[in-house]
Structure 1
């Protein structure tokens, strides 16, 4: 299919495009951060001379949001933002968790039979064993311990599952 009339397409319309660069129609530009040709004066002025660069990025709708659950049960405002201005960028390619992002938890140490301890001693005995053990009440014994440090203190990927495509923007007719 060939589209020959883009008169009804608003300037700046962005579309997903699954084909390579050689098949981008006339009047459309790839959204890869390149300089907009001077022949597309209006779009060039509106976007400060460059197409948006969507390489490695996902799109988020501009506008106001709140902390109320959406009809699908999601919460769009996870970081207490109240608006997403048109053209704003954000996010990060990798992330290192902070203590505040780790779920509340504790590490326990199992002391087995708390209050009792086993001790061994040498002695004269009728037994074949070189020593005997005796279980007796603990006398103020305490375990002073912690857990070993763990983790690599590295970054982790936060990318959702994806399928790579191009985005194109309508620049207008020459």
Structure 2
């Protein structure tokens, strides 16, 4: 059962309790004017004015405040933990206004607004492992959305990723099947890490796209190389330089006596051809091609990758 806290009461308007009326850290409330009194450590009661409380833990009307109403909400006071006696100095000057209002303030739910827009800026893009975008976030698949409904997002990114229908909608980034890289100049000097040679991707242009899943090498992209050709055997030319050739023959003779020629005999003789000057010999080799290799097919151009959703903070 919850412990009920009962405050000391006084029905006299403006009545300040005496030091003897309260224990240190004890509270008293004037039921006539609603003022709350707290006895400080120095023994002098101090008036602490608070605004009206309209509900406690969702309960309205006459409410008995119990420990469960604040359990777990306060873990320390002014750096002190455990059993703490609250004094005026613990809260003095801590809260001077609520939502721009000063004086007696009735705290309402809108005073504790959603902090998501201040912690995560509108237009921030983050990876998300879930299957459905949470509230105030949109998946980035290049869709057109309302400039009115998502006014804060339109202010942040404009028509950088597409103008939508040109009047009432604008286009979100399309990150389907794409990786994300930092803008090459990022508002400063270009790093020249992503230029027009990077698959047609201009790294200085926000929202530029490029690259591909596969790529077929062009001749200009091949590394410098050579081919070994097998001629199928050795080729030689004739001897060069001035030279001649000798040859042997037998001389035969026969007197003209009208008889049939019989076997002739004679001695061998040696003759020499005329000398030929230094010269070369030319010959032709038929044209041919070296053997072919490779298929000419496109190669995989994807780095090791895991698929997640990308979403953008829409602010609404």
What's the secondary structure of 2:145's corresponding residue?
A: coil
Task: Find the aligned partners of 2:191 and 2:228 in 1 and give their Cα distance.
Answer: 39
TM-score of the superposed pair, with normalisation by structure 2: 0.38
Corresponding residue for 2:128? 17
For the residue of structure 2 that corresponds to 1:110, the secondary structure is coil
| Matched ranges for 1:20-169 at <5 A | 20-21=131-132, 24-37=133-146, 38-44=148-154, 46-47=158-159, 48=163, 49-64=170-185, 65-66=190-191, 79=197, 83-111=203-231, 114-115=234-235, 142=285, 144-169=287-312
Question: Helix, strand or coil: the match of 1:168?
Answer: strand
| Structure with larger RCO (C-alpha < 8 A, sep 6+) | 1
Q: Which runs of 5+ in 1 are unaligned?
A: 68-74, 117-138
The answer for unaligned runs of 5 or more in structure 2 is 1-113, 164-169, 237-281
For 1:126, the equivalent position in structure 2 comes to none
Please report the RMSD computed on the Cα atoms of aligned residues, expressed in angstroms.
2.9
Displacement after TM superposition at 1:36 (Å) = 2.0
Matched-pair contact (CA < 8 Å) for 1:30–1:169:
yes
* Residue pair 1:36, 1:44 contacting (<8 A) in 2 also: no
Say if 1:16 and 1:112 are closer, same or farther in 2 by CA, change over 3 A.
same
Mapped partners of 1:78, 1:113: distance in 2: 50
Kindly indicate whether the alpha-carbon contact (under 8 Å) linking 2:194 and 2:202 is maintained by their aligned counterparts in 1.
no
User: CA offsets, 1:108-136, max 9 Å, x none?
Assistant: 113476447xxxxxxxxxxxxxxxxxxxx
SS in structure 2 opposite 1:153?
coil
Given the two structures, how large is their TM-score scaled by the length of structure 1?
0.65
Q: Distance in 1 between matches of 2:310 and 2:127?
A: 5
Alpha-carbon distance in structure 1 between the residues aligned to 2:127 and 2:283 = 71
Partner residue, 1:128? none
Deviates more, 1:58-67 or 1:24-33: 58-67
Larger Rg: 2
TM-aligned CA distance change 1:78 to 1:14, over 3 Å: same
